[in-house]
Structure 1
Amino acid sequence: MEPLWAEVRTSAVRVLRSDNQSLRNNPDIERFQTASQRLAEALVTLDADIRQRAGPDLRWLGQAQRALPVGTVALMLLLGAFVYRRILLPFDASMKDLARSEGALRVARDELERRVEERTAELSAANAELERQEQALRRSNEELERRVEERTAELREAQQRSLELARQAGMTEIASNVLHNVGNMLNNLNTASAMLAERLRALRVDPLLKAAEMLEAQKADLAGFFSNDERGRRLPEYFGKLGQNLAAERTELLSLVGALEGHVAHIRAVVDFQQSYATVTNLDESVDLAAVLEDALRMAVPSSGRSGVIIDRGLSPLPRALCDKHKVLQIVLNLLGNAKWALGERGGEDKRLGVRLARPAEDRVRIQIIDNGVGIDAALLTRIFQHGFTTRRGGHGFGLHASALVARAMGGTLVAESEGPGRGATFTLEFPFRPAEA
């Protein structure tokens, strides 16, 4: 009996302390009800047992039996009060809180839906604006690409025009050098022809004509004329001296004629040089670069001895190369012309012009034109390659610019070096070396 009562009390305490406010499916209440039912059954059994074994105590048991329903009712009332106070009231408060929470949740959900709709509208507007911007950007890109294509085409056309102008400038440079050289030779030829005409006019043919007239007059008696006439006896000596004079005159005239032939041959050689380089071509061919430099020297500096310029050649023997010899000649002629001008402006003596040909690497060739002329200011070393810029009096400012363009078209470079005014200059042309044997 005591364990059952202890179990009922324990179950009641658990129900009072439990946080579970539900009347259904509550294990604590179920255990309490089970323990109470078992306690009631035990009491009934105890009552029957007492009735059988203890007659004298029936009165006391009857009183206990009459008190038992009262206790049970009191216990049920106590349990009902407990359930009402600890379960029903909190459950009702929970339901009210749940209703309030559902209302707040509904309001929050409505607010969230409103915000979602607003955000969706904002995103839709932003997407529409983004699409408009993308379309505008696409149109701008298309316009930019069109302008870039047009600008690229203009640059290509301008570069092609520059190359054509460079080619024409190179041909003009060659023609100018040829005309200059031919003019010098024509001056020498004119001088030689004038000397020849003067010597021919100075020939002593009049005494010979008089002697012939004398012999013609005495042809009837030439033997008597040579024997008895003093003039006849002196004619053989006169003819001997006249023959010697005519032989000397003939030698001098032949030397003048030889000089004329030399000048004409020199003019012919210069014209042949010009004709060999006059063909406009953009094709690479097998070229002896040392021979091209020699041709350039003969065309640009034909009379270095008379001009006082000392030519210093440093031409390393190289295999024949594949390149456009016209472009190489055009650049070298321009550089030689500038070097001649720098040496002429320098004045004085010890004018030196160096020409170097080397192969600094297996795939590169280097040509250098070196002079000890007036030099170049350091601030002008890059500007001299700009179109229209020149330091020469009467210069057009196109030669070095065109040469730089041609060098770039060959895949090479053209640079200038100078230690300053009065200290000469060095121009270096480098471009790819491709052996003709390959």
Structure 2
Amino acid sequence: MLWHERLRIGQSLIDDQHRALILRISSLLALPHISDEAFNGLVEHLQTYVQQHFDDEEQLMEEVGYPLLEMHRKIHQTFRQQWVEQVAALGQGEVTIAQRNTLLQEVGHWIVTHIMAEDQKIGDFLRQQKIIDGQSMQSPDAQDASLNLLDYFLSEVQFQQEQLRAVVDALPYALFAVESQSGQVIIANTQAQQLGLQQGELLTLSPHAPVTERLPLDQTFSLPVAEAIAEQDAIRQEYMVTHQGAPACYLYRAVPIRDHGGSLFQVVVTAVDTTAIKRDEERLRYAAFQSGVAEMSISILHNIGNAIMSIMNRAEQMEEKSQELTNIANLLKRVGPASRKRLADGQSAEAVLEALLPALEEMGGQLDQMAQEHCRQHARKIRTGVAHISEIIKIHQDSAQQVMVSQFNLVELLDDAIVIQSDLLDKYGVEVELELSAELSELSLPRSQMLQTMINLIKNSLEAIAQQMQQQPGHVGHILISAAPLEVDQVQIQVSDNGCGIEPEKLEQIFRFGVTSKKRGTGFGLHASANFVQSVGGKMGAFSEGVGQGTTLTIQLPVRSEQEAL
């Protein structure tokens, strides 16, 4: 709402009062937030205004003999009564910002309309009577008065449009509007123009195939518009693009605009550069992954240590058996001298040989027993231990690589996860059962993060079982890992245990960082796992019938990840 020279009636006192009130209302409407003090001050001013200003106007009309005084006074009285009722209604409760704006707009509209339609009649009368204290003004006829009122509101609409344009240009993201029939860009703010979109440009709005590769940014402007028109509803879509020779990510929101008849005639679109946000999210995921790798390294080193201890024990036992071999060797060394002495003493060769055979047979038996039960067995165990160490190191090397999508066999990955946790599984005597569908296909996901996720789930079950064992001595732990395809390009993995369980009301919280249902839990493993599952477009959930009833964790994953590193 603006003050305009066309609002003058030619009497300075009345014009000054009109101008002061209009400027005060318009200045408040321009504020993003009207304070209680400012609003209450305006209400008090209006209460004074409807008394003093109306009295001043009526006194002027009496002094100049204005013939329409009584009709004008009734208009004043009607407004006074309405204003009293509005103020009383406002005093009955808290006034919202919307109510304040509505009241100001209604009062401002009434004042401008009243000035143009009624007070200008007083100005006409004063000019006819040559009673004027301001600049000379020609007396307009009824048509001119209507045109003046129209010009005023057109100028105010233009002002509001300029304000809106300034707000749109000040937005920190691109905004543009497209005519739905022709595809012509009718609005493009500064940010949109910097991206290469110009007002007046024509966009091709024909239906398009799903985007499967990075497109130049300027080739994606029409995509959300066409989709919003096709859906006849607001849409939200993110595109991987190239901009200024570099990969980027833009989030589009498109909202269809309809006319009074309900027909779609425009689509307003915002485009937000989310490249930095995506990179930050990737850094956070990688930091969580590295933290998981560090935790996994401790487990791996512990497993390697256990394998080495087993090899050392076998080596010590072989060393002990080597003394027995030395004893047998010494006995064999004495066979020759003893035999020659007996022959020298006159014993026949036949008698000497007959005496030696039982001893030789006994020593042969001992050597065979040592070879079978000790040397070969220990050698086999040592080879198994070394192979186990090699396997653990290989798994660790694979998992330590930077996050990247690769194709892998799910069954082999589950075996790797179990191998890494085998020490704890043996320690608590927990049986792991696998139920794997024969129809499982290979997955194309970040393997290292997937491995860490399965390690986290198995470890979570182990910790829950260990806690249940403390509360229930003699409890035998059991973990069931099942995997099967769901629908097209989807796979479901479940890890169920008979551990300490979770209170049902806390199930939705266990994937939050730092939240755990176990006494010694960190609240990190499930949080990191849920983040990974969501990052590849999957879902993760938990079910438990309550404390002491075990828990089932369910993961639904796409067979192929659509994630592409920025």
Which bin holds the TM-score, normalised by the shorter protein?
Answer: 0.5 to 0.7
> Judging changes above 3 Å, is the alpha-carbon distance between structure 1 residues 341 and 362 closer, same or farther for their aligned structure 2 residues?
same
Letter in 1 for 2:378: L
Unaligned ranges ≥5, structure 2: 1-123, 131-136, 176-190, 192-250, 252-270, 562-566
- Answer yes or no: is the 8 Å Cα contact 2:436–2:484 preserved in 1: yes
- Among 254, 263, 266, the alignment partner of 2:385 is 263
Partner of 2:411: 290
1:12-62 superposed Cα distances (whole Å, 9 cap, x missing partner): xxxxxxxxxxxxxxxxxxxxxxxxxxxxxxxxxxxxxxxxxxxxxxxxxxx
Deviation at 1:352, TM superposition (A): 1.4
Structure 1 pair 226–188 and aligned structure 2 pair: CA distance change class (3 A) = farther
**Structure 1 214/321 Cα, relative in aligned 2: closer, same or farther at 3 Å?**
closer
Sequence identity percentage: 23
For structure 1, the 5+ residue unaligned runs are 1-101
CA contact (8 A) 1:162 1:402 kept: no
CA distance in 2, matches of 1:336, 1:434: 23
Residue 363 of structure 1 corresponds to which residue in structure 2? 489
- In the other structure, the counterpart of 2:475 is 349
Task: Select the residue among 529, 533, 536 that pairs with 1:410.
Answer: 536
Deviations 1:373-416 (A, max 9, x none): 01122343222222233345554433222211211121111112
Distance 2:520 2:542 in 1: 21
Q: Tell me: CA distance 1:151–1:283, structure 2 relative to 1, closer, same or farther (3 Å).
A: closer
User: 1:387 is matched by which residue type in structure 2?
Assistant: F
* Alignment partners' CA distance in 1, 2:372 and 2:291: 46
| Distance verdict in 2 for CA 1:184–1:130, change over 3 Å | same
Deviates more, 1:128-137 or 1:248-257: 128-137
The change in CA–CA distance for 1:237 and 1:346 in structure 2 (over 3 A counts) is same
2:456 corresponds to which residue?
334
Deviations 1:240-265 (A, max 9, x none): 43333333233333222222222223
Q: Choose which of 416, 430, 447 in structure 2 pairs with 1:309.
A: 430
Separation (CA, whole Å) in 1 of partners of 2:526 and 2:410: 21
Q: Classify 1:422/1:115 alpha carbon distance in 2 versus 1 (closer, same or farther; 3 Å).
A: same
Task: Tell me, yes or no, if the aligned pair for 1:315 and 1:358 is still in contact at 8 Å.
Answer: yes
CA RMSD, Structure 1 to Structure 2 (Å): 4.4
Match of 1:141 in 2: 171
Task: Compute the displacement of 1:193 (Å).
Answer: 2.1
Deviation string 1:44-95 (CA, Å, 9 cap, x unpaired) is xxxxxxxxxxxxxxxxxxxxxxxxxxxxxxxxxxxxxxxxxxxxxxxxxxxx
> What is the one-letter code of the residue matched to 1:157?
R
| Residue 104 of structure 1, CA deviation | 10
| Separation of aligned partners in 2, 1:306 and 1:142 | 58
Q: TM-score, normalised to structure 1's length? A: 0.61
Superposed displacement of residue 336, structure 1: 0.9
Cα distance, 1:338 vs structure 2:
0.7
- Of 116, 133, 155, which residue of structure 1 is paired with 2:277? 155
Give the Cα separation in 2 of the matches to 1:269 and 1:143.
51
**Which is further off, 338-347 or 315-324?**
315-324
In the alignment, structure 1 residue 224 sits paired with structure 2 residue 344: yes
What is aligned with 1:428? 554
SS in 1 for 2:347: helix
1:183 corresponds, among 302, 305, 323, to 305
Q: 1:304 to 1:322 in 2, by over 3 A?
A: closer
Trace 1:55-74 onto structure 2 (pairs within 5 A).
Answer: none
User: Which protein has the bigger strand share?
Assistant: 2
CA contact (8 A) 1:169 1:399 kept: no
Larger mean CA deviation between 408-417 and 312-321 belongs to: 312-321
Instruction: Name 1:246's counterpart in structure 2.
Output: 367
Pair member with larger Rg:
1
Q: Can you list the C-alpha shifts for 1:275-309, whole angstroms capped at 9, x where unaligned?
A: 45544352242x33233223322333368566422
Structure 1 CA distance for aligned equivalents of residues 301 and 369 of structure 2: 36
Residue pair 1:169, 1:402 contacting (<8 A) in 2 also: no
Determine the structure 2 residue equivalent to 1:323. Answer: 444
Q: Which residue of structure 2 aligns with residue 74 of structure 1?
A: none
